[in-house]
Structure 1
Amino acid sequence: MLLRASPAFSLLANNGVDAQSLSSPNSLSNSLTSSSSFLRIPSAKNPNGGFSVSAALPESNSRPLTGVIFEPFEEVKKELSMVPTVPQVSLARQKYTDECEAAINEQINVEYNVSYVYHAMFAYFDRDNVALKGLAKFFKESSEEEREHAEKLMEYQNKRGGKVKLQSILMPLSEFDNEEKGDALHAMELALSLEKLTNEKLLNLHQVAEKSNDVQLQEFVEGEFLNEQVEAIKKISEYVAQLRRVGKGHGVWHFDQVLLQEGDAAAA
């Protein structure tokens, strides 16, 4: 918004400072010190329009501020001319590149694919002949969390004026038993790999935002995803280390019970 003021000399004169006193630095200093109202002083770069304001005594607050003209639409003329009139074009979109829009849609697809795999793991461990309820609950919650991430990205895409384009989701595995490692360790190692892949994709998204100089998107990725992703990698890494210790027998059942109790305690 542009702000234009009357010449500084006339404003100073209106507030009790003689314009002729500006010819002497000492006189100007004395005038400024003795003045009890706010003062406007010419700027060196803009002697006709620049001014600064100092504190005023209460009795001077009633004096009107004269010589100021507001032109609220002067600086938005360019933006007004760029407001789209076609119904299919977003009105909210601003400095949001096609590269960022495409990267967001790619990350949405990543989150949905990971959610789909976790849901398949939930179904496997929930079988009556597997019956590891702690692992089933853990992977079900993990699936829901990844789906929430996808929805959060979709909401952000709409907020920035982009278009959500959902892509195909690959069919996940339905069997997770492994002759050497067992099903629990094999599934948890796969989960760790998926979390690291998701983190790598998020870092790529952040890099695209950085190249596009999209500070807001960088902040969104950092604040909503990256820290949580690092914590998830640490937690699942610990689960993998524990399952490697307990083997494939009774230790897996004990691990599952502890995991189930931890989930119940967190819910409470």
Structure 2
Amino acid sequence: MRSRQPSTNRSDAVEYNVSYVYHAMYAYFDRDNVALKGLAKFFKESSQEERQHAEKFMEYQNKRGGKVKLQSMLMPVSDFDHIEKGDALYAMELVLSLEKLTNEKLLNLHKIADQNNDVQLVDFIESEFLVEQLIFFSGVRLKPSEYVAQLRRVGKGHGAWHFDQMLLNDVVAA
């Protein structure tokens, strides 16, 4: 049984769009007048990971005899400065909402595959994506919600810089 082409293509698009937004965040935090290299590193790695997810969907679709249809993407925001929240908190809140959206899209695709008795697609989504999402949201590695809570606590300025150094040095705060 072939996978549902439009749904799989939409999943490609979501992953690519999230990757694109994260890449814009990387570019912002890497700027010489922002210079938060830990956040830049975090967003660059996140962008690469989301692009790999999109490519996995494309490879899977090609293996199943489908047709990959890339879509146009909207240009993401390029400035993440926020007067009240600061740029780090604002960006991390965006990460949290994007990860929730991605998870929701994966669950919807899983539901469609299940309803159509497409066990291969169900297995692919579960093994390649939902397990990773579960790890991401369950705290095996620090969750975006915890990053948001920490950034709210430390505030802008020196607190955000200290958080950035934590990311740069791969130190997980307790």
- TM-score scaled to structure 1, two decimals? 0.61
1:132 paired with 2:36, answer yes
2:152 match: 244
> Aligned match of 1:160 in 45, 64, 67?
64
CA apart distance, 1:231: 2.8
2:12 match: 108
Structure with bigger RCO (C-alpha 8 Å, 6+ apart): 2
2:104 match: 200
Larger radius of gyration: 1
The letter of the residue matching 2:158 is H
Aligned equivalents of 2:80, 2:136: Cα separation in 1: 21
Larger helix proportion of the pair: 2
Aligned equivalents of 2:13, 2:45: Cα separation in 1: 19
Q: Secondary structure at the match of 1:168?
A: coil
Alignment of 1:193-232 (within 5 A): 193-232=97-136
1:260 paired with 2:164, answer no
CA apart distance, 1:174: 0.4
RMSD, matched Cα: 1.1
The letter of the residue matching 1:221 is I
CA apart distance, 1:212: 0.9
CA apart distance, 1:217: 0.5
Per-residue CA deviations over 1:119-143 (Å, capped at 9, x if unaligned) read 0000000011100000000000000
Alignment of 1:77-96 (within 5 A): 95-96=1-2
* Residues 195, 232 of structure 1: 8 Å contact kept: no
CA apart distance, 1:213: 0.5
Aligned equivalents of 1:136, 1:249: Cα separation in 2: 16
Query: 4+ residue runs of structure 1 moved beyond 6 angstroms?
Result: none
Report % sequence identity.
74
The letter of the residue matching 1:126 is D
Aligned equivalents of 1:236, 1:105: Cα separation in 2: 26
* Residues 121, 187 of structure 1: 8 Å contact kept: yes
Aligned equivalents of 2:131, 2:147: Cα separation in 1: 19
Aligned equivalents of 1:123, 1:230: Cα separation in 2: 28
Aligned equivalents of 2:132, 2:117: Cα separation in 1: 24
* Residues 199, 229 of structure 1: 8 Å contact kept: yes
**Which structure 2 segments of 5+ residues have no match?**
none
Q: Secondary structure at the match of 2:170?
A: helix
> Aligned match of 1:142 in 39, 46, 50?
46
The aligned length equals 167
**Which structure 1 segments of 5+ residues have no match?**
1-94, 264-268
Q: Secondary structure at the match of 1:242?
A: helix
* Residues 181, 248 of structure 1: 8 Å contact kept: yes
Aligned equivalents of 1:145, 1:101: Cα separation in 2: 23
CA apart distance, 1:249: 1.9
